[in-house]
């Protein structure tokens, strides 16, 4: 573990040095007047079970399993990851402000892992975004939402109105890139979560609707 | 609330009728172990379709996955999920080979936990599991099944699994159902169907 931490630290340091001068900027877009006050990520907003096949790559470690997301009330989601054999790896309840760990497998019980998951899912499950500025390009309507040092760029497909990307930036640096594929606004068929400053990637493919 | 009470009552009553498990006597348990152990010694290959059902109290629906397991004695095991997604894991030559929806990888099976899990799965097909020093075993029976209930002895394994129940249909020496209870209390049920003993298995079953 110590070697892993050291390695991660070195990797991220090198990576940070390489990217730290790069500031995230929208390219080839034109500013438009605010048409919306708030935009929403509704992909986890239904009370039904959301079940996904999950592939996580955390540096050189590959974790495979089944991810379940369930909205408990307006603010809180329950998130459970099991292995493919069904045994539970991690189970937590999360809202914008709160995080309650119900269970974690001893091998995964590392502060660094839990903090990453907490942060990633807090961003992913955030539903409402107040709009600060609006843009558009050929394909998308783009909304910028500013909350303190955090900025979110939400890309909605012009043709079908579906959210297909969120770029999360902090201090103007690109942090996480969320890409969605969907046919309806409350349900994403697949999702790709890519960290820009760490070698962490999470891929989800829906297995909710199998019949 | 009333629904829950009614459901609880139903479970209670139905368990009296359908699955009243009683402990086997010492002689019965001995006869059962001897029969299963001697019959499974004749097993060279085993193939079976399985349905895995995961239950969690906060979900509306159970999570159900389907696949096929193949085993070649002494120690090659393939476990392939085919629906609703493709995932294969093969235990062979002290290595574990994984194909996760096209993404292939392999790891040395030297990890103690993996070794124990592999031993248990392989052991459950050759009757060796009854002698596994990692587990204490209780023998139960009901109208339709003989049941072996395994409880891990070591704290290390107890972190993963609280109990494993193997159900053998009366008169048969292969497992038709596995019930696993995790440390967290969640259960996973695996039902085996179309079990074929000593039928030839193509080599491709044991490669990714």
Greater model confidence, A69 or B75:
A69
Domain encompassing residue A160: 24-206
Q: Does residue A15 belong to any structural domain of this protein?
A: no
Average model confidence (pLDDT) across chain B: 83
Q: Does residue B11 belong to any structural domain of this protein?
A: no
Which of B63, B178, B183 should be substituted to probe chain A, the one whose Cβ sees the most A Cβ atoms within 10 Å?
B63
* pLDDT score, position B157: 81
What is the rounded average pLDDT of the residues B86-101?
A: 87
What is the rounded average pLDDT of the residues B167-195?
A: 90
Q: Give the torsion sign (CA, B124, B129, B134, B139).
A: positive
* pLDDT score, position A211: 45
Q: Does residue A14 belong to any structural domain of this protein?
A: no
Q: How many domains does chain B divide into?
A: 1
Which of B52, B59, B152, B181 should be substituted to probe chain A, the one whose Cβ sees the most A Cβ atoms within 10 Å?
B59
Rounded CA Rg of chain B? 18
Q: Which of A48, A88, A205 sits opposite B182 (nearest CB)?
A: A88
Q: What is the pLDDT of residues B135-148, one digit of tens each?
A: 899 999 999 999 99
Q: How far is CA B12 from CA A174, B7, B18, B19, B75, in A?
A: 56, 9, 10, 10, 41
Q: Does residue B10 belong to any structural domain of this protein?
A: no
Chain B contacts to A (CB-CB under 8 A) = 52, 54, 56, 58-61, 63, 65, 81, 83-85, 87, 89, 98, 100-101, 103, 105, 159-161, 180, 182, 184, 186, 188
Per the CB < 8 Å rule, is A103 touching B58? Answer: no
Residues 6 or more apart in contact with residue B160 via CB below 8 angstroms: A87, A105, B113, B182, B183
Q: How far is CA B83 from the centre of its chain?
A: 19
Q: Does residue A8 belong to any structural domain of this protein?
A: no
Q: How many domains does chain A divide into?
A: 1
Q: How far is CA A8 from CA A15, A16, A117, A200, in A?
A: 10, 12, 16, 11
Rounded CA Rg of chain A? 18
What value of ipTM does the predicted structure carry?
Answer: 0.80
What is the rounded average pLDDT of the residues B78-105?
A: 89
- Average pLDDT across each block of 10 residues of chain A; the chain has 211 residues. List them in order: 60 53 79 88 95 90 91 96 89 95 88 92 95 94 92 96 96 94 95 93 87 45
CATH number of domain containing B195: 2.50.20.10
Greater model confidence, B76 or A177:
A177
Q: Does residue A10 belong to any structural domain of this protein?
A: no
Domain encompassing residue B89: 22-206
* pLDDT score, position A68: 96
Q: Which of B59, B89, B105 sits opposite A68 (nearest CB)?
A: B59
Q: Does residue B17 belong to any structural domain of this protein?
A: no
Q: Does residue A188 belong to any structural domain of this protein?
A: yes
Taking 50 as the threshold, does the pLDDT of residue B44 lie above it? Answer: yes
Q: Does residue B35 belong to any structural domain of this protein?
A: yes
Taking 70 as the threshold, does the pLDDT of residue B3 lie above it? Answer: no
pTM, two decimals, is 0.83
Predicted confidence band of residue B21 (pLDDT cuts 50, 70, 90): confident
Q: Does residue A123 belong to any structural domain of this protein?
A: yes
Predicted confidence band of residue B12 (pLDDT cuts 50, 70, 90): very low
- With an 8 Å Cβ cutoff, is A33 touching chain B? no
Alpha-carbon span B208 to B206, nearest angstrom? 7
Taking 60 as the threshold, does the pLDDT of residue B79 lie above it? Answer: yes
- With an 8 Å Cβ cutoff, is A165 touching chain B? no
* pLDDT score, position A55: 94
Q: Does residue B2 belong to any structural domain of this protein?
A: no
Greater model confidence, A16 or B151:
B151
Q: Does residue B63 belong to any structural domain of this protein?
A: yes
The structure tokens listed for B191 are: 């039902």
Token match 């109990």: residue?
B163
Q: Does residue A18 belong to any structural domain of this protein?
A: no
Percent of chain B with pLDDT over 90: 42
CATH number of domain containing A95: 2.50.20
Which of B53, B89, B163, B184 should be substituted to probe chain A, the one whose Cβ sees the most A Cβ atoms within 10 Å?
B184
Q: Which of A49, A64, A66 sits opposite B60 (nearest CB)?
A: A49
Q: Does residue A6 belong to any structural domain of this protein?
A: no
């Amino acid at each position: 573990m110590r070697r892993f931490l050291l390695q991660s630290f070195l990797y991220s340091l090198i990576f940070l040095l390489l990217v730290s001068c790069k500031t995230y900027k929208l390219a080839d877009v034109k500013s438009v007047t605010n048409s919306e006050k708030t935009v929403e990520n509704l992909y986890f907003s239904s009370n039904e079970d959301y079940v996904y096949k999950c592939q996580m790559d955390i540096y050189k470690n590959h974790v495979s399993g089944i991810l379940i997301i369930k909205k408990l009330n307006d603010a809180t989601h329950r998130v459970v990851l099991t292995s493919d054999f069904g045994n539970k790896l991690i189970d937590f309840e999360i809202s914008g402000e709160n995080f309650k760990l119900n269970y974690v497998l001893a091998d995964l019980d590392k502060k660094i892992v839990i903090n990453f998951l907490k942060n990633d899912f807090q961003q992913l499950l955030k539903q409402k975004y107040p709009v600060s500025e609006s843009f558009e390009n050929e394909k998308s309507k783009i909304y910028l939402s500013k909350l303190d040092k955090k900025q979110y760029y939400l890309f909605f497909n012009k043709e079908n109105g579906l959210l297909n990307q969120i770029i999360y930036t902090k201090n103007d640096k690109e942090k996480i890139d969320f890409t969605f594929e969907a046919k309806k606004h409350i349900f994403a068929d697949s999702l790709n979560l890519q960290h820009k400053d760490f070698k962490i990637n999470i891929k989800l493919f829906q297995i909710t609707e199998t019949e | 609330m009333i629904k829950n009470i009614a459901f609880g009552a139903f479970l209670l009553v139905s368990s009296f009728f359908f699955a009243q498990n009683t402990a086997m006597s010492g002689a019965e348990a001995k006869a059962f172990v001897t029969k299963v152990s001697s019959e499974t010694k004749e097993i060279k290959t085993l193939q079976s379709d399985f349905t895995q059902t995961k239950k969690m109290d906060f979900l509306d629906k159970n999570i159900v996955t389907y696949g096929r397991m193949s085993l070649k004695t002494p120690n090659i095991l393939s476990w392939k999920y085919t629906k609703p997604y493709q995932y294969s894991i093969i235990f062979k030559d002290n290595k574990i080979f994984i194909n996760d929806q096209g993404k292939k990888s392999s790891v040395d099976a030297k990890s103690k936990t993996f070794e124990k899990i592999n031993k248990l799965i392989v052991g459950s097909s050759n009757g060796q599991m009854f002698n596994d020093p990692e587990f204490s075993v209780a023998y139960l029976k009901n109208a339709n099944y003989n049941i072996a209930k395994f409880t891990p002895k070591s704290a290390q394994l107890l972190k993963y699994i609280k109990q494993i129940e193997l159900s053998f249909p009366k008169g048969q020496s292969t497992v038709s159902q596995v019930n696993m209870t995790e440390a967290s209390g969640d259960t996973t049920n695996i039902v085996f169907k179309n079990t074929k003993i000593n039928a030839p298995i193509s080599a491709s079953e044991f490669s990714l």
